[in-house]
């Protein structure tokens, strides 16, 4: 299915990935875009001109029908989520996103939507396979038998199954991507919902400009992750949406690093070395997680390839500008 010429709604358009996706769709020539987010429009991370921008709470069924009216394609990215500090302490809130996904699927089915993209997460994977920092990269089938991240991961896995059964029972074409730690400019970098790359950038910038050259790291720093730059994420969404892959697919970088190595990369951007202290009681998630990209390479002939040091350099520069502007007010 080609996206050009279709009438599209992006749910969660006021957020990090959604804002980038709207601008990407515009650049591809999609001229009928409805952008929806629960936040007031003036609080969106990015706002595109020439787009129908709506503030709607998609947990409400009626709002989902308004969002999908006259629409051909849905990109469902709306969710109550954040980094590990947020999802470990707000499990009920994360699970309530099931209302959004349920009502959006029902509205899409009833209003003749042709294709439905759902943004899932690597948090769906079985926790027993993520106990060691020396993790074996996670294949799509490793989501079962089910033992996902408590709260957020369970909701994501359940919503994946809903997509599957709405396709099987009602013919609604669904595409599902399991995002692995997306980062980049125009994302959350403070306030408690930020993820590790943005949080580390902020802490390093604070240390550099304050003269207090030390940093607190959650966990022991040896936990491993892969981090995908936003440009790769948007490219993958577009390719997966247009393809004929009817199963959930990993969308993540396979460049595995420890959190200590992530700090090394950010320190290099700042041209500084910091004293490190470790808060081992803080939320840190699983000990190891990486993306097995065998299937995405097989199906799409492509995988996320932007190197961490290149993506972090752009992210660091953007966050530093935001912090300096905020400090000057």
Catalytic choice (45, 118, 125, 152)? 152
In Å, the largest CA–CA distance within the chain is 61
| Rounded CA separation 14/225 (Å) | 26
Q: How many other CB atoms are there within 10 angstroms of residue 153's CB atom?
A: 26
* Residue 228 near residue 300 (C-beta atoms within 8 A): no
Q: Is 125 one of the catalytic residues?
A: no
- Inter-helix orientation angle 308-328/196-210, to 10°: 50
**How far is 226 from 168, CA to CA, in rounded Å?**
33
Distance CA 12, CA 291 (A): 24
Q: State the alpha helices, DSSP H only, in 30-76.
A: 61-68
d(Cα 141, Cα 217) in Å, to the nearest integer? Answer: 32
DSSP state of 43: G
Contact between 100 and 11 under an 8 Å Cβ cutoff? The reply is: yes
Distance (Å, whole) CA 322 – CA 328: 10
Q: Which residues are identified as catalytic?
A: 152
């Amino acid at each position: 299915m080609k996206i050009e010429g279709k009438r599209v709604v992006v749910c969660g358009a006021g957020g990090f990935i959604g804002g980038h996706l709207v601008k990407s769709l515009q650049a591809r020539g999609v001229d009928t875009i409805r952008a929806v987010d629960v936040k007031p429009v003036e609080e969106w991370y990015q706002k595109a001109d020439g787009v129908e921008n709506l503030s709607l709470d998609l947990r409400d069924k009626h709002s989902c029908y308004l969002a999908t009216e006259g629409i051909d394609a849905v990109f469902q990215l709306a969710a109550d989520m954040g980094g590990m500090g947020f999802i470990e302490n707000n499990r009920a809130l994360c699970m309530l996103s099931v209302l959004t996904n349920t009502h959006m699927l029902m509205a899409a089915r009833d209003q003749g939507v042709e294709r439905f993209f759902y943004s899932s997460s690597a948090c769906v994977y079985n926790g027993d396979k993520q106990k060691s920092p020396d993790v074996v990269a996670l294949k799509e089938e490793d989501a079962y038998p089910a033992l996902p991240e408590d709260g957020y991961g369970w909701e994501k896995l359940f919503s994946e199954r809903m997509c599957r059964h709405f396709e099987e029972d009602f013919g609604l074409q669904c595409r599902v991507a399991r995002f692995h730690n997306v980062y980049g400019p125009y994302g959350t970098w403070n306030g408690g919902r930020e993820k590790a790359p943005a949080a580390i950038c902020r802490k390093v910038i604070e240390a550099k400009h304050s003269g207090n050259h030390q940093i607190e790291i959650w966990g022991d720093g040896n936990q491993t992750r892969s981090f995908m730059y936003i440009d790769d994420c948007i490219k993958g969404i577009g390719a997966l949406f247009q393809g004929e892959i009817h199963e959930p697919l990993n969308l993540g970088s396979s460049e595995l690093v420890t959190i200590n190595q992530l700090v090394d990369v950010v320190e290099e951007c700042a041209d500084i070395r910091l004293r490190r202290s470790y808060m081992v009681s803080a939320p840190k998630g699983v000990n190891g997680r990486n993306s097995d990209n065998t299937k995405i390479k097989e199906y799409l002939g492509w995988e996320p390839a932007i190197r961490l040091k290149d993506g972090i350099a752009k992210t660091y520069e953007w966050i530093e500008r935001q912090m300096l502007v905020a400090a000057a007010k």
